[in-house]
Structure 1
Amino acid sequence: MVKKYSNPYFIAAIAVIGGGLFGFDISSMSAIIATESYKCYFDQSIDGTCMGPRPSVQGGIVASMAGGSWAASLFSGFLSDAIGRRRAVMLATIIWVIGCIITSASQNIPMLIVGRVLNGFCVGICSAQVPVYISEIAQPSKRGRLTGLQQWAITWGILIMFYISYGCSFLSGTKAFRIPWALQMIPAIVLFIGMIFLPESPRWLALRGRWQECERVLILTHGHGDEYSPWVGRELQEIHEWVETENGSWRSGYYELLTPKYLNRTHIGLFTQIWSQLTGVNVMMYYITFVFRSAGVDSSHLLLSSSIQYIINVVMTIPALIWIDRIGRRPALLVGSTLMAAFMFANAGIFAVYGEDAGPDGVDGTREASFVVKGNASKAVIACSYLFVASFAPTWGPVSWIYPPELYPNHLRGKAVALATSGNWVFNFALGWFVPPAFVDIQWRVYLVFASFCVAMTVHVFFLFPETAGRPLEETNQMFSDHEKGIKYLGTPAWRTKNYYSRSVRMEHGEDLAK
C-alpha cells in the first residue's frame, strides 16, 4: 500500500498545482500574443504585415480554453462523485498533457484552439474539484487558508510561465512559443505523481459507506495519528449524522440545486464565481500587454512592465492566506470590490481626459491599443492597474475559491461547486472573446463597464452573502437549513452573520464550549 501523507499543508500544496495549470495558461498567452514570432506565424493580415490574428479571432483563441473549462467543470461534478475527488484530478492531468502536446505542435489556428480546449477540460475539472477536495479534508480553522492556496498557485503559475515565456521570446522562429507551451506539461506530471500519495476526501468516502477509510483519513489529517482525538470523534459524528440524513442522496442531479430548498445558496455560489470574473481581472491578466501599450509603454519594456503586476499578484495573495480565516469572507469581498471599482473608474477617467485616439492600426501595430495616454497620465494608468491587482489578489482572488464549497451539504458539494465554477468559465469565455474587440470599438469605456460591475457586486455581497468562516461544513449547511432549531437563516440578515474562527480553534483543541 502506498504511504499517504497527512500534513494538511502538504496535501493542499500538491492539490493546488491544478490551479497553477490555469495560471500557466494565462501568462503563456498574455506574454506570447505580443511577440513577433506568434503574430507572424498566426498572421491574418491581408498584406502579411505580421499583425497577428484578427481581434475577434484572438479573443476566440484565448476564450477557447475557458470554453473547454466550462464544459468540463459541469461534468466534473458527476465525475468526482463517481470516482472520487482525487482520481478526478489525476484524470485531468492526463488530459492536460495531451492538450499541451497538441498546442505546442500547432500548425494553424484551428489546431491551436483544439489544444487549448483540451487544456480547458483539465482546468475545468481541477478548478471545480480541487477546492472541494481541500475543503472536505481541511480543519475549519484552516479551511480558508488551505483552499486559498488554489489562488496562490494560480498566481505562481502566472509568474513562472510569464518569465519562461519572456525568456523564450528572445528565441527565433516558432521556438519562442512552442517551448513555453510544451513546458506546461511538467507541473501536470508532478501533480499526477503527487496525488498518488494523498488520501481521498473523508466525506466522499463516508457518502460511499466506506466508514473505516473515512475514519482513518480523519485520524491521519485531523488527529495527527491519534485515534482518540476528541476533534476526530466530533467530526466523524457530524459527518455520520449528515450522511444518515442525506441517505444516499448523493446520486441526485443538478436539478436539486434549483429547488426552493437550495436555490438561495446556489445563486450565492454561482455569483461568487461570476463576479470574480466581472471584476475585470481578465483585462489585467490575459490582456495586460494591450493595457500597457495604451499607456505608452514601448516594446522593449512591455513584457518586463507587465511582469511586475504578476509579482504583485503573488505577494498580495499572502495576506489572505494568513488572515482570511480570522477576517472572514464578507469583509474581504466587500473591501476588494470597493477598491477595484475605484481603480477602474480612475483608469476610465484618465483615458477620458488625457487619452488620444491611436488610429486604426493602434499603438505600434497593436490594434487593441486603440487609445493612448502619455507622460504623467501614462504613469497613473500603470499605477492604477497595479493597485487593481493588489486589491484583487487578497480578496476576490482566493475567496472566490474558498467560499462556494462552504455553502452546500456533503451530497451536493461536488456538483454545486462544479455549477458555480461553470459560471466562472462562462464569463471567462465571454470576456476573453469580448475584450480585444471592445478595446477597439469602445476603447477606454471598457474600464467603466467593469467599474460598474464592481459597484454592483459590493451591494450584492453586503445584502445577500452570509459569513461562513470558522464553521464545520455540516454546521454551515445547518445555518442555511430552513429546519434549523429555532432560527431560520432567511430571518437572519447576511450582514449580521458571524465569523466562528475562535470557536472552531477551541473545538479543534478539544475545549468544552459549554464552559
Structure 2
Amino acid sequence: MGAGAVVVNGQTAGWVHLIDPNRKWYNNGRLIALNAWIVLFLITSSTNGYDGSMMNGLQSLTQWESAFNNPTGSKLGLLNAIQNIGALSAYPFSPYMADGLGRRPTVFFGALIMCAATAIQTASQSVGMFIGARFLIGFGLTFAAGAAPMLVTEIAYPPYRAPMTSLYNSLWFSGAIVAAWTTFGTFKIPNSWAWRVPSALQGLPSVIQVALVLFAPESPRWLVSKGREAQALKTLAYYHADGNEQDPLVQYEFEEIKAAIDFDRNVAANVGWSSFVSKAGNRKRMRIIIAIAFFSQWSGNGLISYYLSSIFKSIGITSPTIQLLINGILQIWNITIAITAAFFVDKVGRRILFITSCLGMLLFFILTTICSALYAKDGNTGAAHAVIAFIFLFNAAYAIAFTPLIVSYTVEILPYAIRAKGFTIFNFSISLSLIFNQYVNPVALKKLQWKYYLVYVAWLVFETVYCYLFVVETKNRTLEETAALFDGEEALETIAHNANAHLVTGDLRDESSEKGSGSYVPTHELGKA
C-alpha cells in the first residue's frame, strides 16, 4: 500500500480521514457556493439533451414538417446528424484550448457560439439555414462540453466528486424535459412559432453561462500545471476549507495534485497523443473509454432519443398529442432514475452499475422486440401498449449506468496531463457513433420496421460480455489515485510517496481540529494504513 493512503472497504482513499465531519454541503456557505458554480457547468449537458428531445418533438409538429418539406429518410438523418458533424469539426481544437487557456474560457467560448447558433436556428427560413445553425450548435458544444465536466471533477469537494460529476450527463434529461414539454405546449400554435419557440429556448443554458462563467473558479489542477501553485492552493483552501491553507485535506489534495502532474510529465512521460498507444495503462483506458462511448449510443437508445415518433407510428400511435405527452413523461422518468443512480456510484460501484445496466437493457429490448413483432403480425393493441411500458423500463436500465457514468468514469480514469485529449477521444467516438445512428436508423427503421431491433439485441449481448470483462472498479479513490490505477501499483506508490514527502512531518491540524470539530489523521500515521 502506498504511503499516504488509507483503506476504505478495501480501496485506497487518502482523503477520507482528513474530512471535517461538520463541513457539509448544506451547512457551509463556501461549499454551497462551489456547488452552485458546479451546477453552472453541469447545465452544459442540458443543451445536448434539449437537442435530441427537441428534434423528436419537432418531428411530431406538422408546422415544422411543412416548413421543411416533410423530411424523411436520409434527409431527416442529416437534420439530426449535422449537429454531430459540427462537433467533429471542433475536436482538433478543443483539447488545446482547454489545456492552454483554461477550462473556464473554453466553456465561455463554446457557450458564446451556441448563443449565436440558436438565434440563427430560430430565425431559419430554409432547410439550409436550419442545417447550418445546427452545425454551429455542435461546433460550440464541443468546446463547452469538453471542458465543463473536467472542471467539475477537478474542483469538486472530494466526498462529492463522483456524484457531482455523474450528475453532468444525468442533467442531459433536464434539457430533454424542457424540450419535450415545450413542444407539447406549442404544437397547437398555428404558425412557425410552434417550432421557433422550442428552438429559441435551446440557447437558454448558454446565455446563462456566457453571463456568469468567467466569474467561476478555475481548476486547481490546471493552475498547478501552469505553475500558478499559489492560486491553486488558495482556490482549494477557499472552497474546501473555508480559506484555511493549512487544512489537512487541502494540503493533502495540493501535494497529491503536484505529485501526480509531476509524475505524468517527468516519470511516465504521459503527455502527448502518442502516449495513448505507447503506454500500456493508456491502452487499457482507451479500451474502456472508446467502448463505453459507442455503447452509450448503440444500445438501442438512439432509436428512442431521436426516432421515438417513428417507433410510435410503427405500433399505431399516430396522434401528435399522445406522442408528445409520452415523450414528456419519459424524460421525467429518465432524469429521476439517472439522478438517483448518480448518488450511488460510490456506494454500489461503477462495475456493478455497468453490468446491471447492460443486463436490464438486454432484457427489456428483447421484450420490446417481441411485442413490436406481435403488433406487426396481428395488430394486437395490448402488445402495442406493452411496447410503451418496456420503453420506459429500458430507459431506466440505461439510466442506471450509461447516463451518470460515461462522462464521470471517463474523466476520472484519465490522468491530468492527457485528460483533455482523452476526453476528446471519448466525445469524438460518441459523435461518430451518433452520426452513424442518425443516418442509418431512419433508413433501417423505414425498411425493416421491428426486425431492425434484432440488430440491437445482438449488440447488447456483446456489450454485456465486454463490460464484464474489462470495466475496472474505481470507487472510493481520490481523483489522482483513480487515474493512476491503470498504470499499476508502482505508479500509485510513487505519487503517494512524492505527495507525502512534501507534507510537513507531524500532525496536520487547523484551528478547527484543535477545537474538536474535526477528526484528522496525522500525516505520519497515514503511511501505516
TM range (shorter): 0.7 to 0.9
1:312 Cα offset (Å): 0.6
1:250 Cα offset (Å): 9.5
Deviations 1:83-115 (A, max 9, x none): 111110010011101111221121222211110
User: Counterpart in 2 of 1:286?
Assistant: 306
Say whether 1:510 aligns with 2:527: no
In terms of mean alpha carbon deviation, does 62-71 or 400-409 score higher? 62-71
Equivalents in 1 of 2:312, 2:519: separation in Å?
Answer: 51
Equivalents in 2 of 1:375, 1:210: separation in Å?
Answer: 65
How large is the RMSD of aligned CA atoms in angstroms? 2.4
Equivalents in 2 of 1:186, 1:509: separation in Å?
Answer: 44
Counterpart residue identity of residue 328, structure 1: G
Deviations 1:189-223 (A, max 9, x none): 11222312310011011111110111011112322
Equivalents in 1 of 2:269, 2:75: separation in Å?
Answer: 41
The TM-score normalised by the length of structure 2 is 0.84
2:328 to 296, 301, 307: 307
1:4 Cα offset (Å): 9.2
The alpha-carbon distance between structure 1 residues 442 and 272, as it changes in their structure 2 partners (threshold 3 A), is same
Equivalents in 1 of 2:149, 2:350: separation in Å?
Answer: 15
Equivalents in 2 of 1:310, 1:468: separation in Å?
Answer: 29
User: Counterpart in 2 of 1:236?
Assistant: 254
Say whether 1:257 aligns with 2:276: yes
8 Å contact kept, 1:280–1:450: yes
Say whether 1:385 aligns with 2:403: no
8 Å contact kept, 2:47–2:205: yes
1:322 Cα offset (Å): 2.0
Higher relative contact order structure (alpha carbons within 8 Å, sequence separation ≥ 6):
2
For residues 22-37 of structure 1, the aligned pairs below 5 Å read 22-37=48-63
Equivalents in 1 of 2:519, 2:276: separation in Å?
Answer: 35
Structure 2: tracts of 5 or more residues without a match: 1-28, 495-517
User: Counterpart in 2 of 1:246?
Assistant: 264
8 Å contact kept, 2:295–2:463: yes
1:9 Cα offset (Å): 2.2
1:10 Cα offset (Å): 1.5
1:81 Cα offset (Å): 0.6
Q: Percent identity?
A: 27
| Aligned residue pair count | 471
8 Å contact kept, 1:68–1:119: yes
Say whether 1:431 aligns with 2:437: yes
Counterpart residue identity of residue 258, structure 1: V
Equivalents in 1 of 2:34, 2:439: separation in Å?
Answer: 38
8 Å contact kept, 2:315–2:375: no
The alpha-carbon distance between structure 1 residues 256 and 183, as it changes in their structure 2 partners (threshold 3 A), is same
Say whether 1:339 aligns with 2:360: yes
For residues 28-427 of structure 1, the aligned pairs below 5 Å read 28-43=54-69, 52-247=70-265, 252-261=271-280, 262-299=282-319, 300-356=321-377, 373-427=379-433
Equivalents in 2 of 1:486, 1:117: separation in Å?
Answer: 43
The alpha-carbon distance between structure 1 residues 126 and 453, as it changes in their structure 2 partners (threshold 3 A), is farther
The alpha-carbon distance between structure 1 residues 125 and 36, as it changes in their structure 2 partners (threshold 3 A), is same
Structure 1: tracts of 5 or more residues without a match: 44-51, 357-371, 489-507
Counterpart residue identity of residue 280, structure 1: G
1:442 to 444, 448, 451: 448
In terms of mean alpha carbon deviation, does 247-256 or 446-455 score higher? 247-256
Equivalents in 1 of 2:225, 2:327: separation in Å?
Answer: 46
In terms of mean alpha carbon deviation, does 394-403 or 292-301 score higher? 292-301
1:397 Cα offset (Å): 0.7
1:509 Cα offset (Å): 5.9
8 Å contact kept, 2:40–2:213: yes
1:291 Cα offset (Å): 1.4
User: Counterpart in 2 of 1:20?
Assistant: 46
8 Å contact kept, 2:87–2:135: yes
The TM-score normalised by the length of structure 1 is 0.86
8 Å contact kept, 1:5–1:197: no
1:268 Cα offset (Å): 1.3
8 Å contact kept, 2:264–2:270: no
8 Å contact kept, 2:481–2:492: no
Equivalents in 1 of 2:43, 2:410: separation in Å?
Answer: 19
Equivalents in 2 of 1:82, 1:341: separation in Å?
Answer: 42
1:73 Cα offset (Å): 4.0
**SS of match in other structure, 1:126:** helix
Counterpart residue identity of residue 273, structure 2: Y
**SS of match in other structure, 1:320:** helix
8 Å contact kept, 1:332–1:395: yes
Counterpart residue identity of residue 255, structure 1: S
Counterpart residue identity of residue 279, structure 2: P
The alpha-carbon distance between structure 1 residues 228 and 347, as it changes in their structure 2 partners (threshold 3 A), is same
